[in-house]
Homo-oligomer: A and B are copies of this chain.
């Protein structure tokens, strides 16, 4: 875990340094009110990135598919209002150019980890990329996925462990904490942890968050929603926004125990006034 990794600069934020980078927000951007509420609270709790999907990859064609470009505009606006950066999933090459305005860190989702044309296109784009691990993919395949991006000349790749598919059904996926130090050692790139998709249920998000920090994760990607019961996507795994600050406080203590830190956010009132 003391292996040093390449530090990735995304605008004002460095990923892979002593400070853990927290990315948080709803699974899907649903409305102006929802994304602004989320932005305010996660900024106040120490997050540096606002997450939110606009083009959703849903298992079923009848599920909510996201607000599209309007969603990204809201994400940008909310992030800017609270001094946050943005991370969001890009689904295909055609979106990349226009996405630059809205998305600071381009996420390649778990289902696209082996979508080679997309990996290459983001490699050529030179946008900083967050490469989630395919839930059915080995660490070795995940590393090769990153190599497709690196081979195009883009070195700004952040990896994200989000759980793999196993026989266990008590959680949605099984978080593979060992993948964090292994991928860091193999690639020399930062690795962050998504406890939300692994847990699948908010009751277990705290344990997975703290494990993700303890195992050497360079950041966290967490779903939080003002009202998870009404969420259009992945509500059961979203941390209630009102409890997000307390979760970050616990994560901060573990981060310090392993020689890292998580910044304290701006107080809510101050954040609002920005």
A167-B166 contact, Cβ under 8 Å, with A57-B116, A178-B208, A214-B213: yes
> What is the count of identical protomers in the complex?
4
Partner of A203, one of B135, B181, B214: B181
In the complex, the answer to whether A170 meets B182 with C-beta atoms within 8 Å is yes
Expressed in whole angstroms, the minimum distance between the Cβ of A249 and any Cβ of chain B is 11
| Contact residues, A228-255 vs B (CB, 8 A) | 250, 253-254
Q: Does A59 contact B (CB under 8 A)?
A: yes
Which residues of A come within 8 Å of B, CB atoms? 1, 57-62, 91-93, 111-112, 114-117, 134-141, 144, 147-148, 151, 164-171, 174-182, 185, 198-199, 203-204, 206-208, 210-216, 250, 253-254, 256-258
Q: How many angstroms between the C-alpha atoms of A175 and B174 in the bound complex?
A: 8
Chain B residue at smallest Cβ distance from A56: B116
Q: Which residues of B contact A59 (CB under 8 A)?
A: 114, 140-141, 144
Q: How many angstroms between the C-alpha atoms of A213 and B213 in the bound complex?
A: 11
Q: List 8 A-B contacts (CB under 8 A).
A: A59-B141, A61-B147, A136-B167, A164-B174, A168-B179, A174-B176, A254-B254, A257-B257
In the complex, the answer to whether B256 meets A140 with C-beta atoms within 8 Å is no
Q: How many angstroms between the C-alpha atoms of A144 and B60 in the bound complex?
A: 5
A114-B215 contact, Cβ under 8 Å, with A164-B166, A170-B178, A258-B250: no
Partner of A166, one of B174, B214, B253: B174
In the complex, the answer to whether B114 meets A91 with C-beta atoms within 8 Å is no
Q: Which of A58, A250, A254 is the most central at the interface, judged by chain B CB atoms within 10 Å of its CB? A: A254
In the complex, the answer to whether A138 meets B258 with C-beta atoms within 8 Å is no
In the complex, the answer to whether B210 meets A57 with C-beta atoms within 8 Å is no
Chain B residue at smallest Cβ distance from A91: B117
Partner of A138, one of B151, B167, B207, B211: B167
Chain B residue at smallest Cβ distance from A58: B116
Expressed in whole angstroms, the minimum distance between the Cβ of A23 and any Cβ of chain B is 19
Q: Which residues of B contact A258 (CB under 8 A)?
A: 210, 250, 253-254
Q: A178-B208, A253-B258 are in contact. List 15 more A-B contacts (CB 8 A).
A: A61-B147, A91-B116, A111-B115, A136-B136, A136-B137, A138-B167, A164-B174, A165-B165, A165-B167, A168-B179, A169-B169, A171-B178, A181-B203, A181-B204, A211-B215
Q: Which 5 A-B pairs have the closest CB atoms?
A: A136-B136, A214-B214, A111-B114, A257-B257, A210-B214
In the complex, the answer to whether A177 meets B211 with C-beta atoms within 8 Å is yes
Partner of A148, one of B61, B112, B141, B250: B61
Expressed in whole angstroms, the minimum distance between the Cβ of A108 and any Cβ of chain B is 11
